[in-house]
Amino acid sequence: MTILVMAILLAPAARAQDGLRPPVGGVISPADAMIFYLAHGPEGTCGQNCSEWIAAEGIVEWDTFKRLFAFAARLGERKIPVIVNIWGDNDLKVAMTLGKIIRDRGLDVSAGKTVVAGCADATEAACFALKRSGKSLDAGIDISAVECDTACVLILAGGVHRTLPVDAKVIIGPSHVRDRHAPNVSEERQKALTAFYGDQFRLYLTQMGVATDVAGIIEKNAATGHATQILRAGWLRLGIVTGPAP
């Protein structure tokens, strides 16, 4: 399930001796918050004539856009694709912001799991430290089980060119409103915010060149609690992708 305004999840910091991945943004930040790092592989790993990419992996949190801004600043004027790997409860408002940053930078987007060679025999904490080292890491991309949810679709929409693996699943699940500062949102307020964000989704997707039908599916599933799988035959028609899989 995805959410529109993500609440802070309080959890104790992971200790280094436990071998676990520590929180990304401090002790109050979930350990699985999205991170960004450079990865590289043989020519063609991330598409035609493509050997280096930005790995974006984890949960989209309220402050994820700050990490992407900082990463993009270090990247300079380089135009390399973003490979997205998302899981968990995601902040859809921030997912739109990530898409806007990506579009402003003129980057392409696809989805897949970046598999870092140096993480093969490493602890979770060591693997995380490697990904946060600032180095471009030797890696591959696993596209065997890609599921692109609502947050993934919103980020994907920001790509100048956007593709998905042929066997990927695009699933628009239910969403709900949660305010991280005031978790007890009234039903009336939830309805008003859902309608507001529905309009925001529609405007954003229109600006990105994605059919407003997708915003309609997001709104409908927010109201019904259902999930909708968009079949591959509809991806190009709806503008979810701009071309065939690389």
What pLDDT does 55 receive?
98
What pLDDT does 193 receive?
77
What pLDDT does 8 receive?
27
Q: At what angle do helices 187-208 and 213-224 cross, to 10 degrees?
A: 160
Helical residues (DSSP H) of the chain, grouped into ranges: 64-75, 92-105, 124-131, 150-156, 187-208, 213-224, 232-238
If 0-12 CB within 10 Å is exposed, 13-18 middle and 19+ buried, where does residue 95 land? buried
Per the CB < 8 A criterion, the answer to whether 156 and 109 are in contact is: yes
Alpha carbon distances (Å) from 56 to 103, 113, 137, 218? 15, 9, 13, 23
Q: Which of 4, 178, 199 lies closest to 92 in space, CA to CA? A: 4
Domain ranges of the chain: 2-238
Bridge-based pairing state of the strands 175-176 and 113-116? unpaired
pTM of the model: 0.88
What pLDDT does 18 receive?
43
Q: How many CA atoms lie within 13 A of 156 on its CB side?
A: 28
Amino acid at 26: G
What pLDDT does 177 receive?
78
pLDDT tens for the chain, residues 1 to 246 = 554 443 323 223 333 334 556 666 555 567 789 999 999 999 999 998 999 999 999 999 989 999 999 999 999 999 999 999 999 999 999 999 999 999 999 999 999 999 999 999 999 999 999 999 999 999 999 999 999 999 999 999 999 999 999 999 999 999 877 766 556 767 777 778 778 888 999 999 999 999 999 999 999 999 899 999 999 999 999 999 999 877
